């Protein structure tokens, strides 16, 4: 039985903080295989993603390609939510992943910020019965889970031009496609 992780997020853009989580999950053998899932239409966010789903998927693929082979070979980017019509619900993604990995244990990877809102999620009680949740502690949020020495970086700071904490290949993609004003 393998441990399959689902790591969802807006990834607008994916940054070094996300990559640190991905690397630590694989290096520490917390997860055997990780599925990175860019969100489609997240409902509990104050604003919609700025970059398109296709652009965020590409940025995720580019970022994963910068990881060492021993890590990147255990990671896939899955567009299930950005291809889905309507709102993105984690429960639907979990059900789809569980059907593709019927004999494996499935984990949902959440940052402490997302974990704090999980009781507001669609079909939250059912979600807890279908998947084990791994909460990643983040700077600035109360600790609820595992500590992987997460780095303090935010996608909003990157979009505002206040941080360059992302792989150069992703930064180049952002500039070439004029995804954010900065």
Average pLDDT over residues 129-149: 86
pLDDT of residue 9: 92
pLDDT in tens, 26-58: 999 999 999 999 998 776 566 788 999 999 999
Looking at residues 82-94, what average pLDDT do you find? 90
Q: Which pLDDT does position 114 carry in this prediction?
A: 87
Kindly indicate the confidence band of residue 167, based on its pLDDT and cuts at 50, 70 and 90: very high
Which pLDDT score is estimated for 145?
81
> What residues does 7 pair with on adjacent strands?
36, 109
| Residue 13 near residue 166, CB atoms below 8 Å | yes
Instruction: Quote the pLDDT of residue 102.
Output: 94
* Average pLDDT over the chain, rounded to an integer: 92
Q: Residue 182 and residue 179: Cα distance in Å, rounded?
A: 8
Pick the residue with more confidence: 66 or 137?
A: 66
Under the banding of pLDDT at 50, 70 and 90, the label for residue 152 is confident
* Closest residue by Cα to residue 110 from 139, 138, 85: 138
E strand or H helix that includes residue 108 = strand 105-111
Note whether 53 and 82 are within 8 A (CB). Answer: yes
CB 79 within 8 A of CB 38: yes
Mean pLDDT calculated for residue range 132-144: 85
pLDDT class of 78 with cuts at 50, 70, 90:
very high
Domains of the chain, each with CATH number or no CATH = 3-177 (3.40.50.620)
Check pLDDT > 90 for residue 139: no
What average pLDDT score do residues 108-135 get? 93
The one-character DSSP state at 118 is G
Confidence of residue 154 (pLDDT cuts 50, 70, 90): confident
Mean pLDDT of the region 8-17: 94
Single out the residue of 27, 106, 117, 139 nearest to residue 74, CA to CA.
27
Please state whether beta strands 132-136 and 33-38 pair in parallel, antiparallel, or not at all (unpaired). Answer: unpaired
């Amino acid at each position: 039985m393998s441990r399959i992780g689902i790591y969802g997020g807006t990834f607008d853009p994916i940054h070094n903080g996300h990559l640190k989580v991905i690397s630590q999950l694989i290096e520490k053998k917390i997860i055997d295989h990780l599925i990175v899932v860019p969100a489609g239409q997240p409902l509990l966010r104050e604003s919609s993603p700025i970059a398109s789903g296709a652009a965020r998927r590409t940025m995720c693929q580019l970022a994963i390609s910068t990881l060492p082979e021993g890590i990147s070979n255990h990671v896939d980017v899955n567009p299930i939510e950005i291809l889905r019509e309507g709102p993105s619900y984690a429960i639907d993604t979990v059900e789809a992943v569980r059907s593709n990995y019927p004999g494996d244990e499935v984990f949902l990877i959440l940052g402490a910020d997302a974990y704090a809102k999980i009781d507001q999620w669609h079909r939250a009680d059912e979600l807890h019965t279908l998947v084990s949740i791994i909460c990643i502690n983040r700077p600035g949020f109360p600790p609820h889970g595992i500590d992987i020495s997460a780095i303090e970086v935010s996608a909003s700071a990157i979009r505002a031009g206040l941080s360059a904490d992302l792989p150069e290949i992703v930064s180049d993609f952002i500039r070439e496609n004029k995804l954010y004003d900065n």
